Amino acid sequence: MYITSIKLKNYRNYEEIKISPLKDINLIYGKNAQGKTNLIESIYLTSTGRSHRTSKELPLVKENKEGFYIKIKGMKEEIPFKIEIKYRKGEKKQIKLNNLPVTKLGELIGVLNTVIFSPEDLQIIKQGPSERRRFIDILISQTNNKYFYQLQIYHRLIKQKNALLKKKNINKYIELLDIYNEKIAETAFFIINERIKFLRKIAVYFNNYIKKLSNNQEFGEITYFSSLGNTMNEIKKTLVKNKNKEIKSSISICGPHRDDFTILINNKDVKQYGSQGQQRTAVLSLKLAEIDIIKNETGYYPVLLLDDVMSELDISRRKFLTESIKTKQTFITSTEKKNYVNFKEKTTFFYVHNGQIDKR
Ligand SMILES: Nc1ncnc2c1ncn2[C@@H]1O[C@H](COP(=O)(O)OP(=O)(O)O)[C@@H](O)[C@H]1O
Ligand SMILES: [Mg+2]
């Protein structure tokens, strides 16, 4: 899968640009704060429906403008696709796929598959559980539409349940609470087991990279922690068991929205015990595993987005990364052109300067 053209209008610091990237490597280079990450962000937004830097649309609109427009065309095998995103301040964003309106985000996710490497990736390891849930949810959604829909249903149910738990006269609504819990058990069962299945698969690739990057000195594992258990019986039991606690605290305290997974290197949680180097290796391996699993699940290599990562990696990890790139198309941002001039892969150069992009 690869992108053949990108058009941006009033997006971040771009007024109007159109570029035609090629297969293989596209190097987006230029000084700081010129728009390199903004371009990568627009690709990611088209792929997942949201930015990797903000959950809101407003910051994406160019200063003093009323809205933005993104159009990305690409090829999947030999079939062309076109995605358009249009946003006007105060309105809902409109998405079109091949000229037809997309009413559910689930129809967009999975059309253009991407894997992004950015300096923020380290947060998957260092931060709290919500970063890890976000990572796994976006990844599974890219390859499994049903998962995305179930997740939306689940979050809606939790929202409704929380509203109920906040009622002063909650004791009048116990039956309704039980009905919610029944429904929650069903979607939670699906979500938990998909996550477990998926993490098991990703762990195999992950471990391969950990081993390679450490010359077989280390091995990696990923384990999922479900606050509800993973059989239907356990899930229902835990929901019943926690009912009074939830009523007391007026919030739903267990379920996939509270779960977490642990990344282990040599049996130790890399978040708690990993060195800086091990944490970087873990993140790099996780991201590389993400490429493999998307290829495996969908049949296509995703478009790879490498934002500012090369400068963050030491020489051996950088070499490992560039040698591991098997995807059809990669976007790399950098402040330097010179490191890429003699790259063995075919490279197209784009110079970014103050919201302008020139092919060089
Ligand atoms: N909504 C916006 N309108 C205008 N300029 C913006 C907007 N959002 C970000 N910018 C500008 O974009 C620039 C940062 O672009 P970015 O792509 O992150 O830089 P880099 O080239 O270093 O990756 C900054 O100058 C910032 O002020
Ligand atoms: Mg940047």
- Ligand 2 centroid, distance to 286 Cα (angstroms): 22
- Ligand 2 centroid, distance to 146 Cα (angstroms): 34
**178 and 233, same domain (yes or no):** yes
The CATH number covering residue 12 comes to: 3.40.50.300
- Ligand 2 centroid, distance to 36 Cα (angstroms): 5
**177 and 323, same domain (yes or no):** no
- Ligand 1 centroid, distance to 184 Cα (angstroms): 41
> What's the domain range around 270?
121-298
**94 and 82, same domain (yes or no):** yes
Q: Convert the pLDDT of each residue in 30-60 to its tens digit.
A: 999 999 999 999 999 999 999 999 999 999 9
Q: What is the tally of structural domains in the chain?
A: 2
Q: Kindly identify the ligand whose nearest atom is closest to the C-alpha of 60.
A: 1
Candidates 76, 79, 87, 83; CA nearest to 98 is: 83
Asked if residues 72 and 3 have their Cβ atoms less than 8 Å apart, the reply is yes
**106 and 148, same domain (yes or no):** no
**Is the Cα torsion angle 16, 22, 28, 29 positive or negative in sign?**
negative
Q: Of 280, 298, 316, which residue is a domain's last? A: 298
**216 and 341, same domain (yes or no):** no
The CATH number covering residue 242 comes to: 1.20.1050.90
**45 and 76, same domain (yes or no):** yes
pTM flag (> 0.85): yes
**Is the Cα torsion angle 221, 227, 229, 230 positive or negative in sign?**
negative
Sheet holding 94-97, edge to edge: 14-19, 2-11, 67-76, 79-88, 94-97, 100-102
Ligand 1, CB cutoff 6 Å, lining residues = 12-13, 30, 32-38, 59, 61-63
Angle, in degrees to the nearest 10, between helices 174-213 and 232-241: 120
**98 and 216, same domain (yes or no):** no
Q: Of 245, 276, 298, which residue is a domain's last? A: 298
- Ligand 2 centroid, distance to 51 Cα (angstroms): 14
**197 and 279, same domain (yes or no):** yes
**171 and 290, same domain (yes or no):** yes
**86 and 147, same domain (yes or no):** no
Q: Kindly identify the ligand whose nearest atom is closest to the C-alpha of 120.
A: 2
Candidates 276, 308, 8, 347; CA nearest to 122 is: 276
First to last CA, the chain: 24
Pocket test of ligand 1: the residue of 12, 31, 310 to mutate, having most ligand atoms within 8 Å of its CB, is 12
**260 and 340, same domain (yes or no):** no
Residue 262 has which token pair? 């642990």
Q: Whose CA is nearest to atom 19 of ligand 1?
A: 33
Q: Convert the pLDDT of each residue in 227-253 to its tens digit.
A: 999 999 999 999 999 999 999 999 999
Q: Convert the pLDDT of each residue in 102-143 to its tens digit.
A: 999 989 999 999 999 998 899 999 999 999 999 999 999 999
Candidates 195, 172, 191; CA nearest to 183 is: 191
Find the length of the chain: 360
Pocket test of ligand 1: the residue of 8, 13, 32 to mutate, having most ligand atoms within 8 Å of its CB, is 13
**Residues 240, 217: Cα–Cα separation, whole Å:** 45
Using CA atoms, how far residue 121 sits from 21, 118, 135, 280, 328, in Å, is 25, 6, 9, 9, 22
**45 and 143, same domain (yes or no):** no
